[in-house]
């Protein structure tokens, strides 16, 4: 079985070395920042250098302490939903904005005191005019964030950051185009028979096309809502409960298959050139993912395997730039799509990008 798929479907509990346990404190701007740093540092200890020339990998030889990442995220989420006193709201949100470089001038509100808790503040909407959608682009950025990686998918392997890969099969699961329903582990005949390159070709509707990917990281200070990148029809959602490791760029560069381990909601369908998938990945301290046209999605509740939902034909159609969903803090969006061989990205790794800006040209 594909190693990334085995990790994604069977890993039920992650461990950290003794001493890596962070301290939970009262939710505030400084506490949120400190907790995020602690979790990134703790997560980094999961990795040890591999052979020279290779990337790091999940360490197996540390003295380990079971660490309930998902439970911590659920607790942190409840803290975010605690009402703040009216007098404390404005100074608390302004402090957070200063620490995390939030641009409040773009937010659509009259008074900061309108946000009853941190969760509402994180999920604030923007003024419509501040994120124009590029009319000429076929594919636009789904979120405000940092471009982690992009490019052509080679033989079923995708780079999450330069030099650190995962497989399509580990990320999307077995037979993503079929009606699997749910699975505690991989039992699909396709999973046993198809090699990575065959899996890659199986996704394409036109053999003359290529598969491409783009990964965008949303930091805690970014706008936390995400939008549709193209005009497309969603056929299926596959939810992997997974775990909730940090998806910060530094961690993504250390853990092979990170996006196959973390909780994620994968939306698959078709657009003008064929296959299109849109994945929201949940990180530590957040976990909660909401998709507005999929009210049945429930995240950060634990479990194993995956659960599928098939949408009736034509019931889930998203337009380019349309609001798609929201995170409760920073996270990551992964696009995987089919396009002609002539498609070229107009991006650079590490650049900041905004909702509605073009990703490339055909």
Q: Quick one: tokens of 178? A: 């079929």
Q: Is 120 left (phi over 0), alpha (psi -120 to 50) or beta?
A: alpha
| Catalytic position from the list 149, 213, 224, 227 | 227
Q: How far apart are CA 264 and CA 258, in angstroms?
A: 11
Q: How far apart are CA 337 and CA 318, in angstroms?
A: 15
233 three-state secondary structure: strand
Contact 73, 287 (CB under 8 A): yes
Residue 150, CA distances (Å) to 48, 98, 104, 207 in order: 26, 30, 29, 21
Contact 342, 138 (CB under 8 A): no
Asked if 331 is an active-site residue, the reply is: yes
Asked if 144 is an active-site residue, the reply is: yes
| Catalytic position from the list 183, 229, 246, 331 | 331
Q: How far apart are CA 308 and CA 324, in angstroms?
A: 18
Name the β-bridge partners of 334: 215, 279
Sign for the CA dihedral angle at 65, 71, 73, 75 comes to negative
| Catalytic position from the list 2, 4, 36, 144 | 144
Residues with a catalytic annotation lie at 144, 227, 331
């Amino acid at each position: 079985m594909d190693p990334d798929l085995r990790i994604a479907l069977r890993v039920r509990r992650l461990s950290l070395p003794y001493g890596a346990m962070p301290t939970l404190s009262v939710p505030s701007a400084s506490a949120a920042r400190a907790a995020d740093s602690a979790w990134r540092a703790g997560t980094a200890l999961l990795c040890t250098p591999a052979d020279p020339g290779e990337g790091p990998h999940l360490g197996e030889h540390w003295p380990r302490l079971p660490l309930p990442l998902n439970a911590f995220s659920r607790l942190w989420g409840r803290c975010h939903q605690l009402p703040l006193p009216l007098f404390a709201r404005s100074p608390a949100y302004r402090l957070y904005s200063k620490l995390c470089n939030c641009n409040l001038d773009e937010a659509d509100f009259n008074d900061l005191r309108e946000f009853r808790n941190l969760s509402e503040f994180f999920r604030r909407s923007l003024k419509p005019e501040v994120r124009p959608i590029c009319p000429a682009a076929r594919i636009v950025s789904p979120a405000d964030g940092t471009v982690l990686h992009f490019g052509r998918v080679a033989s079923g392997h995708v780079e999450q950051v330069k030099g650190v890969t995962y497989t399509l099969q580990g990320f999307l699961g077995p037979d993503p185009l079929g009606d699997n329903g749910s699975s505690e582990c991989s039992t699909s005949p396709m999973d046993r028979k198809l090699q990575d390159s065959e899996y890659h070709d199986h996704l394409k509707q036109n053999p003359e096309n290529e598969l491409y990917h783009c990964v965008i990281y949303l930091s805690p200070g970014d706008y936390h809502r995400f939008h549709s990148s193209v005009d497309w029809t969603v056929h299926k959602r596959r939810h992997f409960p997974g775990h909730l490791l940090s998806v910060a760029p530094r961690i993504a560069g250390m853990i092979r298959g990170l996006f196959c381990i973390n909780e994620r909601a994968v939306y698959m369908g078709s657009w003008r050139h064929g296959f299109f998938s849109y994945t929201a990945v949940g990180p530590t301290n957040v976990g909660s993912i909401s998709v507005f046209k999929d009210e049945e999605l429930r995240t950060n509740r634990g479990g194993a395997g995956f659960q599928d939902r098939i949408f009736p034909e034509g019931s889930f159609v998203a337009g380019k730039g349309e609001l798609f969903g929201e995170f409760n803090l920073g996270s990551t969006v992964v696009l995987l799509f089919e396009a002609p061989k002539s498609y070229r990205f107009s991006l650079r790794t590490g650049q900041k990008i905004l909702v509605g800006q073009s990703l490339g040209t055909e």
